[in-house]
Chain A
Amino acid sequence: GAGVSQSPSNKVTEKGKDVELRCDPISGHTALYWYRQSLGQGLEFLIYFQGNSAPDKSGLPSDRFSAERTGGSVSTLTIQRTQQEDSAVYLCASSRVTWGEQYFGPGTRLTVT
């Protein structure tokens, strides 16, 4: 079946602009995660959605970052007033259940100039 998809695959934006990153999880997966990975670094947890529960936003680095998940499926990560330190690969993952195996999308490579 179809895996996790993300769009765009690459995004170059100017400092100060807003960006939206999209994630389509695997159908039927109730849990959805956003991470970011800077060059040569590990994965940094950003936010977690589980069904209709309130999201766990504890990993969001600042209030410029927000995310929503509509209808328990597609999720959008929004970064307002982008900064150069926001440059990274943003990865989305979904899992059938909490604590279960996560399946990652190909990521969005964000470059802030």
Chain B
Amino acid sequence: RKEVEQDPGPFNVPEGATVAFNCTYSNSASQSFFWYRQDCRKEPKLLMSVYSSGNEDGRFTAQLNRASQYISLLIRDSKLSDSATYLCVASNTGNQFYFGTGTSLTVIP
């Protein structure tokens, strides 16, 4: 079983739509969680950390559900520039970060 699993998509949504991604992690001892975005042929860029209490950054909201071992990312009012692959990440008590294979999002005009 993979440490982190994501629905690969693709998600094709119209501009202005709200879209949500979920990601599950297998290690209940995981301590830190993040969302990254990766544009085609570019390096991953940190989007946001995911805190136990949930956190919001503009149009983006991240949630952590420890009981069910999943994290989520909600994007409101989608923009064309949001088109990318979104990677979720879980870090255990050691020093390894486990990246999901990513969820592809295309925002359509």
Q: Which residues of A contact B (CB under 8 A)?
A: 31, 33, 35, 41-43, 45, 48, 50, 56, 58-59, 91, 98-107
Q: Are B95 and A98 interface neighbours, CB within 8 A?
A: yes
Nearest chain A CB to B105 CB, angstrom units: 16
User: Which residue, of A45, A50, A105, has the highest number of chain B Cβ atoms within 10 A?
Assistant: A45
The tally of residues in B whose CB lies under 8 Å from a CB in A reads 20
Select one of B49, B91, B101 contacting A41, CB under 8 A.
Answer: B101
Q: Are A99 and B32 interface neighbours, CB within 8 A?
A: yes
Nearest chain A CB to B3 CB, angstrom units: 10
What residue in chain A is nearest B46 (Cβ atoms)?
A101
Q: Are A102 and B97 interface neighbours, CB within 8 A?
A: yes
Q: Are A104 and B32 interface neighbours, CB within 8 A?
A: no
What residue in chain B is nearest A95 (Cβ atoms)?
B97
